[in-house]
Amino acid sequence: MTEETQIRINELARELEVKAKAVIDYLPEAGVTEKKTHSSSIDLSAAEVVRKHFRDLAAAEAAAEAAAEAAAEAKVQAEKAAKEVRYHLQRSTDWVIRLGDGTTESKRRMQSAIDRLWMYTGEMFEMDAIDQEMLNCGVGVDLSAIRDPWMEDVGKVFDQATLTVPAATWMQRGGKQGIHTERLGYILSEMQTIQRSYPGLQW
């Protein structure tokens, strides 16, 4: 064999930024059965097998590190979101009880609003393709499984507020699939006024 068809193990190790021993230990898997030292040479075909092996390992390690960083960041954001949700839940609970168990007029209006909006609660617990994929990846929840705990919590708040859970069972669907009435256009237009008036605005 000529030098053009071979490469020294220590040279290959430097190229791959690994120890020569790691290359030597892998050589049987690459089809090299003769005993080798760091100064020995191997065929370029075997070297390509070694290269692929260690590059695949490096890529897998980089992917694992990236996933760990993403998971850590997701945990931070999830904890922040949970804190925000708990705050708003407490504040909204206070207002539901205050208005529901307040004056005759405030109770009437609260019950009327609940009766009108209740049909939109059902879709909160329906799984679409994105929800299912997130659940499969371990970053989502089974929405159908949290309906009963949600109903229990809502029921307790309504009891304190002397309000009634609507008996209607029909639920509006389609929002999660992007099916909306023309009213959404007006809402989005109003919500986007600042962004459209001041492109690139940050706060």
What is the reported pLDDT for 3? 61
What is the reported pLDDT for 10? 92
Which of the following CATH numbers is that of domain 101-197: 1.20.1260.10, 3.40.50.300, 1.10.1200.10, 3.40.50.2300? 1.20.1260.10
pLDDT digits (tens, 9 = 90+) for 8-35: 999 999 999 999 999 999 999 889 888 9
Q: Classify domain 3-56 by CATH architecture.
A: Orthogonal Bundle (1.10)
pLDDT digits (tens, 9 = 90+) for 137-195: 888 899 999 999 999 999 999 999 999 999 877 898 888 888 888 888 999 999 888 88
52 has a pLDDT exceeding 60? yes
Q: What distance in Å separates the CA atoms of residue 11 and residue 54, rounded to the nearest whole number?
A: 14
What is the reported pLDDT for 195? 85
Q: Which of 79, 94, 77, 154 lies closest to 118, judged by CA?
A: 154
> Domain-by-domain residue ranges, the chain?
3-56, 101-197
pLDDT digits (tens, 9 = 90+) for 134-145: 999 888 899 999
pLDDT digits (tens, 9 = 90+) for 91-150: 999 999 999 999 999 999 999 999 999 999 999 999 999 999 999 988 889 999 999 999
Determine phi and psi for 17, rounding to 5 degrees: 60, 45
